[in-house]
Structure 1
Amino acid sequence: MPRLTSLEICAGAGGQALGLERAGFAHKAMVEIDSWAAETLRANRSKLGGKRVEVLEMDVHDLDGTRWNGEIDLLAGGVPCPPFSIAGQQLGADDERDLFPQALRLVKEIEPRAVMLENVKGLAQRRFESYRAQVIKRLNDLGYTVFWDLLQAADYGVPQLRPRFILVALQEEIAPHFSWPGPMEHRITVGDALRDMMAENGWPGADAWADQATAVAPTLVGGSKKHGGPDVGPTRAKEAWRAMGIKGSSIAEEPPGPDFPVGDPENLPRLTVPMGGILQGFPADWRWQGGKTAQWRQVGNAFPPPVAEAIGRSIYSAISTYAALNRGFDPIKQKLDIRVS
């Protein structure tokens, strides 16, 4: 299908970029400040559009969006969540890590057809109602209609409970053609997702373990550079993992081997980084870069690719429907021309 263009800010390890790539978007550039996450983007560039896609390792504050003015169909990003996270101090607009103002600046400079921004469910709380209203008003003033909803990753093929507050904004003439993607009929369990990985080193207990791991995973967390190590999260999450036969106090280097105990509640298998990636919806061969702590931070902070893909397809459909009803596709350039003269 014809490709639309996208620009990613706060790209992380590439979860949103991968989902959008699958939804029909070709990335002009991916912007990420964390050096190891940027390395992960480079290591997986073949899955994200190849060498033609720029990986810009830089602060979004320093990004000049005018370079891409009129060239981008979708501006997307997973803006940092600490200002709104229930686990944090919830300072909102008073938090220096709040990058919504920078995202809005880039919308003005780039003038994309659509915008997609992802954040934690804490942003949906009543205490941030005024903040959300300011964001919506700013986008309305720039000529966009705003859609904001809380989506659950487990409804879109991700074996994990990961609620995310998603903002979609489309140019006013495109917006009537947008609708949120519907949920899948069945959820994927942890056992279904990780059975093959648990068995790949010859552990004889893999099938029995998978047969009893019939729940969806708790939300994975990665911590920040200052806080949080490689584990599955707070006590409540560790207890949920233990109920599924997983030791959550640390992350393993590799799956259990042929001599690993079977049926021993005191010796449970642990997750590995690639397993965490699977639970986020990444492919098993995603090449995570850095040490284990840096890799797990990327895993835990990622935007699940299947969720990005589902929303991306809805955005793609809205833009292409509008184009088909107006000027349509340019079969030579394979790009939608939707500018209003």
Structure 2
Amino acid sequence: MSTADRLTSIEICAGAGGQAVGLHAAKFRHLALVEIDRHAAATLALNVRENPAWKWEREHCVIINRDVNTFKPLEEVPNPSRKGKKGNSGKHGEEGDFLKPGELDLLAGGVPCPPFSAAGKQLGRDDERDLFPKMLDLVDQLRPRAVMIENVRGLVEPEPKFRYYRNHIKNRLRKSGYVICGWNVLEAQDFGVPQLRPRAILVAIRKDQYRGFDWPVPRKKITTVAQALEESMARRLGGKDSPLFKQWWDKASLGTVAPTLVGGSKKHGGADLGPTRAKKAWNALGVNGMGVANDEDKTIDRDRDLGSLAQERGPMLTVEQAAIIQGFPKDWRFEGKKTAQYRQVGNAFPPLVAEAVGRAIAEALQRTGELREDPDPEFEPEEDPSLTAVQESFPPS
């Protein structure tokens, strides 16, 4: 359904829009964004409704706020090229208006990371939150030209941990007619994000569309926390000549990128900047990681939010500044109260990384010429032979 300047996408587990923002910057236009969290879904709806750059989505994109397991794209997502025209039945608004298999350019999703996160129990496929099976079912239903799946580094590194589950996922895609372009760990700091945030990215392209794929090349220079926050910190702390700003700048300018922002979950308390090690790293950058500051126009306790010269305690980050650390554009707004907003930001996929991968996918899909052979077509073992050996040594009685 692509045109010369527009490729279409559907994204599941869209969160507050980190991946959607990046893919939008890479010239993809979203037909549907699916997200279960009501605050994040409200954020998506707000920006689609009011952000001038999202005018196309305002007319064509559906925001679906519910469990992705109930999502039925071929019954819920209109095809803009047929929207308002007569369907197969000869009536408006019936089955002829909706997407059909093979019409979508990209299916993307940041499926939940807890099953593979180093901070969790790493249950993998045994975790009820694992949505890879649903993602693969959607691939079979939609038959998109390309697939992009994002997750935490723990799914790929250390390599042996989830090897056989990764093989299962890749084999499913191969059986569905896709070329595996790679499952790479990309560092957010290599793409302009002032943060340590490695993400595991899987890209696959349908065989009848495959003319090669090149992963994005890292930038030569990183963006530091001091560079990213200089403007907003100067505004919050009274200008670049103020003692509070100078105290922050003296620390921040000695550092480079931030530790990984942690969004946390509803099971835990209020927002802060992560575990003890992360808080120490933030302190070295002149930031108090024990909480999140109120918005600039809602500051009540200035000593808490802006820091203290006497105690040499730096300011807390606002949600806006946390979004800067994630690489969100300044005009992206978040719904909900402070903690809900921060969790949306902290759990996001950095837009600049999504944009880099999205541009690589777009370039691959727009190539012309002869199709290429699958460079890695062989199916891989899905069962750990060491476990099979143990089972065989203890036959059932």
TM-score (norm 2): 0.78
Deviation string, structure 1 residues 92-128 (Cα, Å, up to 9, x no partner): 0010000000000000000000000100011013221
- 1:54-103 CA-to-partner distances (Å, cap 9, x unmatched) read 11111110011334322210000110000000000111001000000000
Whether contact under 8 Å (1:201, 1:258) holds in the other structure is: no
One of 134, 143, 165 as aligned partner of 1:131:
165
| Aligned-partner Cα distance in 2 for 1:44–1:25 | 16
> Is contact 1:222–1:228 with CA below 8 Å preserved after alignment?
no
The residue number in structure 2 matching 1:216 is 257
Tell whether 2:343 aligns with 1:325: no
State which of 263, 283, 289 in structure 2 corresponds to 1:242: 283
Say which of 51, 64, 68 aligns to 1:56. 64
CA distance in structure 1 between the aligned counterparts of 2:120 and 2:308, rounded to whole angstroms: 39
Partners of 1:326 and 1:3 lie apart in 2 by: 22
Given candidates 177, 181, 203, the residue that maps to 2:216 is 181
Unaligned 5+ runs, structure 1: 328-341
SS in 2 for 1:170: strand
Equivalent of 1:119, from 148, 151, 158? 151
Moved more, 64-73 or 108-117: 64-73
Q: Aligned equivalents of 1:84 and 1:268: distance in 2?
A: 34
The answer to whether 1:103 aligns with 2:149 is no
1:144 match: 178
What displacement does 1:226 show?
Answer: 1.4
Which structure has the greater CA radius of gyration? 2
Shift of 1:202: 4.7
After superposition, where does 1:246-325 map in structure 2 within 5 Å? 246-255=287-296, 263-321=309-367, 324-325=368-369
> Please, which of 17, 39, 63 is the counterpart of residue 42 of structure 2?
39
Q: State the match for 1:83 in structure 2.
A: 115
Distance in 2 (alpha carbons) for counterparts of 1:228 and 1:177:
47
Q: Tell me, in whole angstroms, the C-alpha distance in 2 between the residues paired with 1:228 and 1:118.
A: 27
Using the TM superposition, name which of 228-237 and 209-218 deviates more: 209-218
**Residue 229 of structure 1: CA displacement?**
2.8
Per-residue CA deviations over 1:112-145 (Å, capped at 9, x if unaligned) read 0000010001101322100000000000000111
Number of positions where the alignment pairs a residue of Structure 1 with one of Structure 2: 325
Change (3 A) 1:139 1:195: same
Conserved 8 A contact 1:190-1:210: no
Task: Supply the AA of the counterpart residue of 1:179.
Answer: D
> Counterpart amino acid of 2:223?
I
* Alpha-carbon distance change, 281 to 130 in structure 1, aligned in 2, over 3 angstroms: same
Quote the residue 1:231 is aligned against.
Answer: 272
- Deviation for aligned residue 1:284: 2.2
SS in 1 for 2:162: helix
Q: Secondary structure at the match of 2:116?
A: coil
Distance, in Å, in 1 between the alignment partners of 2:344 and 2:228 is 19
Q: CA deviation at 1:50?
A: 3.6
What is the distance in 2 between the residues matched to 1:158 and 1:174? 31
1:134 to 1:269, Cα distance in 2 relative to 1, 3 A: same
Identity percentage of aligned residues: 53
TM value normalised by structure 1: 0.90
Distance 2:131 2:21 in 1: 22
- Note the C-alpha offset of 1:265: 4.5
- Residue 65 of structure 1, aligned match among 67, 73, 96: 73
Task: Quote the Cα distance in structure 1 between the aligned partners of 2:250 and 2:226.
Answer: 6
